[in-house]
Chain A
Amino acid sequence: MVFQTGDEEWVLMSRVASGDESAIAELYDRFGALVFKAARQVLTSRAESEDASQEIFVRLWKTADRFDPRRARLVTWVMLIARRHLIDRLRRKVSRPEVLGLEADTESTFVSTKQAKAPVQPVEANQALRARIQELPELQREVIERAYLQGFTLREVSEQLDAPLGTVKSALSRGLARLRERLGDAEQHLA
């Protein structure tokens, strides 16, 4: 039998599920930096991103037995769990804004769902990304800021912007694709 990547990933996650410390270490070695970078993108400080990374790996252990290699690659699964955790964290912040300490890189203002009709000022953890978002068409920009950077659900964004859900979904998908293209172009240009 050919030993496929999916099998190898399934075995790794089975070991993680059973609490095998060496498997958890292997999971961190493969995805720790990626998870931290995803957290750092949307959270205000390094300390907060490190806390989130710890919580994400605990969540990965708890959900390891649900990983299905037929449905997604392991990296997708890991980042899905990470993103969902970050979204939960962002939502908790929306409902309970924190007083930022000295470690915070920038001042951030989170808005509640009700307040969200007003212009938003999301986290500016990554200036390059923020600058590119500003160049997007208005609807794509609004949707990305609210859904990707602030953790609102697409339904909430749809209500906030008074736009059909399908339109919001398309705007988000196109906006993200456009961002990836633009940032990719910029990196190539700099290189």
Chain B
Amino acid sequence: MNANELLNREELIEQASLDAMGLLDDFEASHFSKSFHAASATVQEEIRQLQAAVVVDSSMLSDELPAAGLRGRVLGAVMDALEDEATELQPIATIGTRVRRSTVATPSDVNAHVMDSIQHERRAANYRAMSRTLVMWRAASVGLAAALLVSLVWVSMVAGEAVKLGQLAYSTETASQVSSTLGPSFQSFLNSGTKIRSLVPVNANLNVSATVLVDPKTGESVLVAFGLDLNQVYTVRMIDAQGQHDLGSVTGKAVQLSGALLRRTDGQLIQTCKLQLIDSDGQVVLETA
């Protein structure tokens, strides 16, 4: 098979059942996918229908039904795996130290690239919260900006709200929050190719911040936000030359981390277009600079 030659309709039809049954190897499956995407919309729909019919064909399936108890065991297994992954995510507090855990799937320095950015946004949110509650913090933080951790310890003695936020910022719970909010999808953004876009409040008094992580290759992106109003639903909007498109929504969790997978889009475009976070009243809360 010539790798540059795309499969025609007949070849796609012939291989559609093999693809759906996982019988093509990685190279062939990738070639099939490439040819599929290059095919007309009509052929694509034909393939989708054919594959959906093939996989449910009763002649290729056992007649036996699962035991009623299997449902509980399956759900238990998935929830256990979810918890395991949450505990395996490297605690943010250790980023920057020499500690490395072999159980972490991606190199910690690559994680740090993304995590640092999130942490940066979180620090910014904390800073805004503190400045509202304690004027002294503003002056102190200027002098202590280089040692934010020390500042937070100091502030914790005098500002109740700052204590709460400061502790949260450095809590190892943050990593598990990221994991439980975004699930395994977040792992795919822990690589050096991930692009980061920061959203800043349109109103300086708002203690909110957000980061959009973009995989430019796939066009997949996630939004991670701090300080969104509890249970308030926000819309993520992308504005480009063609107009505006909603990429998804995120539900606020106050001082807890909020996050959402966004609708897949053009990987390059999302790096340059304007992004906005809009509250349920239609007001822009955050936007890219």
Output the least CB separation between B27 and chain A (Å): 9
Task: Tell me whether A180 is interfacial, beta carbon within 8 Å.
Answer: yes
B-facing mask of A108-137, CB < 8 A → 1, else 0?
000000000000000001100100000000
CB distance from A185 to the nearest CB of B (A): 10
Q: Which B residues are in CB contact (< 8 Å) with A179?
A: 59-60
Known: A58-B78, A172-B18. A76 touches B184 (CB 8 A): no
Contact A154 to B24, CB < 8 A, known contacts A21-B75, A50-B73: yes
Of A41, A55, A62, A170, the contact of B61 (CB 8 Å cutoff): A41
- B63-71, B89-97, B147-155, B200-208: which lies at the interface: B63-71
State whether the Cβ of A8 lies closer than 8 Å to any Cβ in chain B. no
Q: CA separation between A19 and B67, bound complex, in Å?
A: 24
List B contacts of A70 (CB < 8 A).
Answer: 44
Interface size class of B (residues with CB under 8 A): 35 or more
Quick check: B70 and A36 within 8 Å, CB to CB? yes
The proximity string for A residues 80-110 relative to B, scoring 1 for CB distances below 8 Å and 0 otherwise, is: 1001100100000000000000000000000
**Min C-beta distance of A138 to chain B, whole Å:** 19
B225 CB to closest chain A CB, in angstroms?
Answer: 14
Distance (Å) between the CB of A56 and the closest chain B CB?
9
Contact A153 B25 (CB under 8 A): yes
> Chain A interface: which of B50-58, B120-128, B130-138, B160-168?
B50-58
A166 B1 Cβ-Cβ under 8 A: yes
Complex CA–CA separation, A10 to B261 (angstroms): 11
Q: Mark A48-71, 1 if CB is under 8 A from B, else 0.
A: 011001110110011111001011
- Docked complex Cα distance between A41 and B61 (Å): 6
Stretch at the interface among B175-183, B231-239, B268-276: B175-183
Contact A50/B67 with A28-B74, A75-B56, A154-B23 known, Cβ cut-off 8 Å: yes
Q: Is the CB of B66 within 8 A of A36?
A: yes
Tell me, rounded to whole Å, the shortest Cβ–Cβ distance linking B46 to chain A: 12
Q: Report chain A residues within 8 Å CB of B62.
A: 36-41, 125-126
A79 within 8 A of B: yes
The residues of B that contact A64 with a CB separation of less than 8 Å are: 183-185
* Complex Cα spacing A33 to B220, Å: 31
Task: Choose one: B1, B20, B21, B58; the contact of A148 (CB below 8 Å).
Answer: B21
The residue that A180 contacts in the complex, of B28, B57, B263, with Cβ under 8 A, is: B57
User: Who on chain B is nearest to A58 by CB?
Assistant: B81
With A57-B77, A58-B77, A58-B78 known as contacts, the answer to whether A18 contacts B64 (CB < 8 A) is no
Q: How far is the CB of A149 from chain B (nearest CB, A)?
A: 11
CB of B17 within 8 A of CB of A53, answer no
Chain A window 9-50, contacts with chain B (Cβ cutoff 8 Å), 1 for yes, 0 for no: 010001011110100110011001110111111000010011
B interface residue numbers (CB < 8 A to A): 1, 14-15, 17-25, 28, 33, 36-37, 44, 48-49, 51-52, 54-67, 70-71, 73-75, 77-79, 81-82, 180-185, 188, 220, 248, 259-261, 263-264
Add 16 more A-B contacts to A71-B36, A72-B20 (CB < 8 A).
A17-B182, A17-B184, A18-B183, A18-B260, A28-B71, A36-B62, A36-B64, A55-B77, A57-B74, A57-B77, A58-B81, A76-B48, A80-B20, A169-B15, A172-B18, A180-B60
